[in-house]
Amino acid sequence: MSEVPVPAAKPAAVASAGRRTFLAVLVNTAAANVTTSFLWFALTFWVYLETRSVLATGIVGGAYMLLLAVFAMVFGSLVDRHRKHRVMVVSGFVTLVAFLLAGALWLAFPEAALLDLGGPWFWLFAGVILAGAVVENLRNIALSTTVTLLVPVERHANANGLVGTVQGLAFVVTSVFSGLSVGFLGMGWTLAIALVLTALALAHLSTIRIPEQRPAVGEGAGPVVDLRGAIRAVRRAPGLFALIVFSTFNNLIGGVYMALMDPYGLEMFDVKVWGIVLGVTGTGFIIGGGLVAKFGLGKNPIRTMLWIVIAMGVLGAVFTLREWWWLYALGIWVYMALIPPVEAAEQTVIQKVVPFETQGRVFGFAAAFESAAAPVTSFLIAPIAQFVVIPYMDAQSGRSTWGWLLGEGESRGIALVFAVAGVVMVIAAALAFLTRSYRTLSRQYRTSEVDVEAGSV
């Protein structure tokens, strides 16, 4: 067994060894995330390039986000009921089995059969890769709880910044190398690469030892989705539900960018250049996470988060005011650099104010809401932009009303949506400063000492 039980103790009591173990887990999770994202996006690229079906890629992408939202609560319950290392091993093993099954399907059927959208084999092939990618996200919830377990409380924000850097690395690698792999090697070799890397990550994980006591077990196994337990855990920290709601709202606004960033970029850049732009601007994730890892989030991460959200809103309102490629690319880079601090702030607060034994359910609860938010907005805003806003800006009334601010051109309708979404984000974050939930949660973060219980589950 890879987990070594230790006497009840605060994670800071094993500070040096704990940080080393956390870094090992972080590197391993980074490798797993990069590999899974690499294969998942390669599948999306391959399907579109071979079928030219927007519907197929839309269903595949939408199903991924939907399943993340649905299973986040399941994953959170599993994390709380089992040792974190065991959860990570099971996640890696299931992902490996799913990718092996996909490889078997690739070898068993001709490529034409796997690309037949009217046949069962395409959906089975895409489905098993989808399952492997979704289950791999179980590791991310477990990773967030290992920050509490292994890292001293005063370094939680820095550790969460490193997590953001890992996510940024996955985005950059995915943006650049998935397309190159499909283009030069084909889907078969891309799948083979993912299989090898997944197996190596699982082998490396087996060498890591995470000191953790066996989680306390109540009467019975409990429900698979412990929604009631998650809600109780959230309510024990006054103001935490408001923070999750605000983060969800922030993701709703982020859905605007999800829906319209690519169309606007493809109006401005050739498709090959746009892929490179995304890869380069994705380094903003790494820089933003690195800055948090170096400097933390200050004495009140909630206040820091709200100021950063205001900055994101201002940025979103101005980076498409003119159809200048450098302004758009710079805006995307800065926006991506601001995402890790916002996510790290929420994680840091949860790790401080929520008892360790229920953190998995709370992280799962938050992930379920927030994962569902962006695709909902994306699905709504795309048709609104297509059929309402863009025609309005192409008409004389739109140009005369907004031309002084946005200029004229085919993409000015998208620019108007960006501007409105940015202003809404600024207003929402400014109003959040005035709420009682903000004051209550800030006070609880300053005074909470639940972290001392992490080692005595």
In the prediction, which pLDDT does 427 show?
93
Q: Which of 151-165, 228-242, 271-285, 363-377 has the highest mean pLDDT?
A: 151-165
Instruction: Please say if the pLDDT value at position 50 is more than 70.
Output: yes
Taking the CA atoms of the chain, what radius of gyration do you get in angstroms? 22
CA-nearest of 431, 442, 430, 417 to 310 is 430
The per-residue pLDDT for range 214-244, each reduced to its tens digit, is 775 544 455 666 677 778 878 887 788 888 8
Confidence of residue 454 (pLDDT cuts 50, 70, 90): very low
CATH of 1-212 among 1.10.10.10, 3.30.930.10, 1.20.1250.20, 3.40.50.2020? 1.20.1250.20
> Is 336 within 8 Å of 281 (Cβ atoms)?
yes
Q: Helix H segments across 52-178?
A: 54-81, 84-108, 111-114, 120-136, 138-150, 156-173
Q: Which of 105-109, 285-289, 339-343, 449-453 has the highest mean pLDDT?
A: 105-109
Q: Fold identical between 1-212 and 226-452?
A: yes
Confidence of residue 452 (pLDDT cuts 50, 70, 90): very low
Q: Indicate the SS3 state at residue 437.
A: helix
**Paired tokens of 422:** 């940015």
| Residue 431 CB coordination number (10 Å) | 12
Q: For residues 48 and 206, which has the higher predicted lDDT (pLDDT)?
A: 206
Residues 6+ apart with CB under 8 A from 289: 161, 162, 163, 164, 165, 166, 167, 168, 340, 344
What are the distances in angstroms from CA 284 to CA 91, 287, 289, 434? 29, 5, 8, 30
Instruction: Please say if the pLDDT value at position 418 is more than 50.
Output: yes
Q: Which of 65-69, 279-283, 307-311, 401-405 has the highest mean pLDDT?
A: 307-311
10 alpha-carbon distance from chain centroid: 29
Segments making up each domain of the chain, as ranges:
1-212, 226-452
Rounded distance between C-alpha atoms, residue 439 and residue 242, angstroms: 11
What are the backbone dihedrals phi and psi of residue 150, each rounded to the nearest 5 degrees, phi first?
Answer: -115, -15
Instruction: Please say if the pLDDT value at position 272 is more than 70.
Output: no
What are the distances in angstroms from CA 348 to CA 163, 308, 338, 379? 11, 15, 16, 31
Instruction: Please say if the pLDDT value at position 57 is more than 80.
Output: no
In the prediction, which pLDDT does 132 show?
93
Q: Indicate the SS3 state at residue 298.
A: coil
CATH code, 226-452? 1.20.1250.20
Rounded distance between C-alpha atoms, residue 136 and residue 138, angstroms: 5
429-456 average pLDDT score:
76
The per-residue pLDDT for range 282-330, each reduced to its tens digit, is 888 889 988 998 899 989 999 999 999 999 999 989 998 888 889 999 9
Q: For residues 3 and 252, which has the higher predicted lDDT (pLDDT)?
A: 252
